[in-house]
Amino acid sequence: MPTAPLDPKTVLGVDPWLEANVGAIVHRHDLYRKWKDTIEQNEGGYDPFTKAYLKYGLKVNPDGSVTYREWAPNVKEAVFIGDFNDWNRMSHPMTRDQYGVWEITIPAKEPGVCPIPHDSKVKISMIAASGERIERLPVWIKRVTQDLSVSPVYDARFWNPPEAERYKFKNARPPKPRSVRIYEAHVGISTTEYRVGTYKEFTANMLPRIRDLGYNTIQLMAVMEHAYYASFGYQVTSFFAASSRYGNPEELKELIDTAHGMGITVLLDMVHSHACKNVLDGLNHFDGSDHQYFHEGSKGRHELWDSRLFNYGHYEVLRFLMSNLRFWMDEYQFDGFRFDGVTSMMYVHHGIGTGFSGGYHEYFGDSADLEAIVYLMLANDAMHTLYPNSITIAEDVSGMPLLCVSVPKGGIGFDYRLSMAIPDMWIKLLKHKPDDQWDMGDIVHTLTNRRYGERSIAYAESHDQALVGDKTLAFWLMDKEMYTNMSDMTEYTPVIARGIALHKMIRLFVHSLGGEGYLNFEGNEFGHPEWLDFPREGNGNSFHYARRQWNVVDDQLLRYKYLNEFDKAMNHTEERYGWLAADPAYVSLKHEVDKVVVYERAGLLFIFNFHPTNSFTDYRVGVEEPGKYSVVLSSDEKRFGGFDNVLPGGEYITTPMEWNGRKNWLQVLSFSWEVDQLRRRSWLYIRTGARAILFLSQYIDFAILAIISTMSDKATCANVQANGGSCTYPACGCAEPPKSK
């Protein structure tokens, strides 16, 4: 059945401002429909089309024989070689079909016995159109290894472990999270030691840490095999091979399955925006031509990344890329993808030298790369058709309209986009403006400036800010004092006090206001003290900065633990109230003099005071819902670096009078601090029935606690009592009175 055409009214129903560009949107949707219908007619639909990984590459047949298939349309001859035949370039010639697919089946040694040893080296030897003999790694190979003591060039290996050594998945995929809290991680740097970390170590050491912090999704970087470790995984050479630096394929499967058992969704950082230009161990010039997988000439080269660009309008390239997505979903049980470099894909200028103002004329017309956009539409549509609970995220700086709208509605089909302007804003503020010059309106605008109905992943910083040449938020805030004044054995300095307070405020501000999902790069949750720099010639191939110093956050004498505990509490509180899955916040106050921001979301009222010196007595704030609000959360607890001067228990009653556009108001508890401004406090209030206020001040130690309101939660009320508060039993609904302190 042909794919239904796009009704222009559907597009305008999503965004009326697209009226002038409806024709272009319908046109690209028509191109998508043509491709989808062609795939349906020729292949039988997405399902068989994306299973090409079961046909191409090396496959062991039931009788023990091995079939190898490779698409190489521009070669005259092809021979399969390897350890199995002593690299004989004549003994195993391949035959070609009319589409340029070469094939050979090697008989079993005896019934059921594979003729190619497990983990042995293989290659394909070809005669190019020029008459030159060229040798390459099989494109669909599942494992390649690198021995830098011999050569930086990878070796392809035939991965066929004995049945007893094959990992068997035990856990089903977890349900699609309603609120996506992403932990961005790199297996290789997830160790404190001066070396590359492993899949096994990540499974044993990192997964429990991530789970306890309250993240429900992991985004794994640099898994697709890449020749240069320092590329952070963005120079992919073998698209179907899991990086052997960290271990073998079965160990990666165990990592993902273990995460699923913990209820954690796992996303793969998918690099389809470009490919490494390597020839001997990459896709470049695989069959001797410049145009097999890529555009020919300058169109097929990225001038800044020094890499090759795919020809997304070619039938076999689409088969390769879409099957690559399916492979990682099926073989390794990933739950979705974060697509890298989407901006580069969607525009013929690749975003180079282009500043996007937000004008709709920038997204359509001659600057749009329709072949790439249609590929993204097909990829998203296929993944969501085959895996309805899959998640796809776009890395895009341009603000492309309809990027995160479903394909049937005229969109490109992603679930989320990364809010890439947010981390840039914080860096600019910390670098160029003193605290008292921060513009609350500009900050709120950046955090809330997203397309209606299109979900965003907000983050204060990611791996980009952690890399050498940039600074993390913690380093911008505390700089060299992180090396000398983070011990609990020393007095707070103004720099450390400000840094710890702002680090927490910024993260919660972004978490609660900036989007429909949240992302953190590993280590940044506790203010990792140093940048990230992979071993390379420029640093003497040192691993000193290519690791994460978990020892500093686990050291109970250091203040990093307070930031870590805050991050944990923040995530667990979001899990309870679900503000990421709620409608966007209603911002009722952006006070430029007081530096106060007030907003409501998910039944919670958030109040941030960013003023560097001023606290406020009986500060009046508007709130929509009337009732009694009580203090249930104090960052002055010692576990957040506080002093236990302020404990939960205070109550506040609304007054039915309009204030700041809300139906009621209440006055926030006055609070004071010492003249040295080193003791800081903040509050989270909650109305009976789960309405809450969050009060934040810059010079405070803010954090999230468990709720201790008049809710029927025995453990909650016990916590009130333990911390010096009072329980309203029996009105609270507790099963029994709380224990006395």
Convert the pLDDT of each residue in 433-448 to its tens digit: 999 999 999 999 999 9
**CATH superfamily ID and name for 586-722:** Golgi alpha-mannosidase II (2.60.40.1180)
**Beta strands 596-601 and 336-339, pairing class:** unpaired
The answer to whether residue 298 scores a pLDDT higher than 70 is: yes
Alpha carbons within 13 angstroms on the beta-carbon side of residue 591 total 21
Task: Categorize the per-residue pLDDT at 647 as very low, low, confident or very high, splitting at 50, 70 and 90.
Answer: low
pLDDT given for residue 12 in this prediction: 96
Q: Which amino acid is at 716?
A: T
Which carries the bigger pLDDT value, residue 641 or residue 696? 641
Position 694 pLDDT exceeds 60: no
Q: Is 340 a catalytic residue?
A: yes
Q: Report pLDDT for 635.
A: 63
pLDDT in the model for residue 77: 98
Closest CA to 234 of 305, 177, 316: 305
43 classed as catalytic: no
Q: Which pLDDT band, with edges at 50, 70 and 90, does 678 fall under?
A: very low
Q: What one-letter code names the amino acid at 366? A: D
pLDDT band at 734 (very low <50, low <70, confident <90, very high): very low
Q: How far apart are CA 42 and CA 221, in angstroms?
A: 35
Instruction: State whether the Cα torsion 278-279-283-289 is positive or negative.
Output: positive
- Segment 268-274 mean pLDDT: 98
Cα 739 to Cα 404, 542, 647, 651, 731: the distances in Å are: 51, 55, 18, 22, 16
Q: What is the residue-wise DSSP string for 471-491?
A: --HHHHHHGGGGGTS-BTTSP
pLDDT for 197 equals 98
Give pLDDT, residue 179: 97
Stretch 168-186: mean pLDDT: 98
In the set 254, 281, 340, 600, the catalytic residue is: 340
Please write down the long-range contacts of 18-21, taking CB distance under 8 Å and 24 or more positions apart.
Answer: 18/360, 18/401, 18/402, 20/360, 21/360, 21/363, 21/364, 21/401
Catalytically annotated residue among 184, 287, 371, 395 = 395
Handedness of CA 617, 618, 623, 626 (dihedral sign): positive
pLDDT value of position 634: 59
Q: How confident is the model at residue 683 (pLDDT cuts 50, 70, 90)?
A: very low
CA distance 533 to 178: 35
Identical fold, 55-165 and 586-722: yes
Instruction: Report which of 497, 501, 704 is spatially closest to residue 609, judged by C-alpha positions.
Output: 501
Give the pLDDT confidence score for residue 719 in this predicted structure. 37
- Specify whether the CB–CB gap between 107 and 65 falls below 8 A: yes
- Please say if the pLDDT value at position 737 is more than 90: no
Sorted by where each begins, the domain ranges of the chain are 55-165, 586-722
Average pLDDT over residues 56-81: 98
| 3 state SS for 54-116 | HCCEEEECCCCCEEEEEECCCEEEEEEEEHHHCCCCCCCECEECCCCEEEEEECCCECCECCC
Do the Cβ atoms of 653 and 691 come closer than 8 Å?
A: no
Instruction: Please compute the mean of the pLDDT values over residues 36-54 and round it to a whole number.
Output: 98
- Which range of 43-47, 605-609, 663-667 scores highest in mean pLDDT? It is 43-47
Comparing CA positions, the residue from 468, 482, 572, 493 lying closest to residue 526 is 482
In this structure, CATH architecture of domain 55-165 = Sandwich (2.60)
Rounded Cα distance, 257 and 207, in Å: 11
Which two tokens mark 21?
């560009």
Amino acid at residue number 486:
M
Query: Is residue 714's pLDDT more than 50?
Result: no
DSSP state letter for 126: E
- Residue 582: predicted pLDDT: 96
| pLDDT at position 618 | 83
Q: Which residues contact 730 (CB under 8 A, 6 or more apart)?
A: 737
| 360 or 724, which is more confident | 360
Please list, in sequence order, all residues whose beta carbon lies within 8 angstroms of the beta carbon of residue 466, skipping any fewer than 6 positions away: 472, 521, 523, 524, 528, 531, 532
- The predicted structure's pLDDT at residue 684: 44
Judged by average pLDDT, the poorest of 25-34, 170-179, 518-527, 673-682 is: 673-682
> Averaged over 293-309, what is the pLDDT?
97
Instruction: Give the least confident one: 24-38, 61-75, 486-500, 619-633.
Output: 619-633
Element (H, E) at 513: helix 494-513
Q: How far apart are CA 666 and CA 222, in angstroms?
A: 50
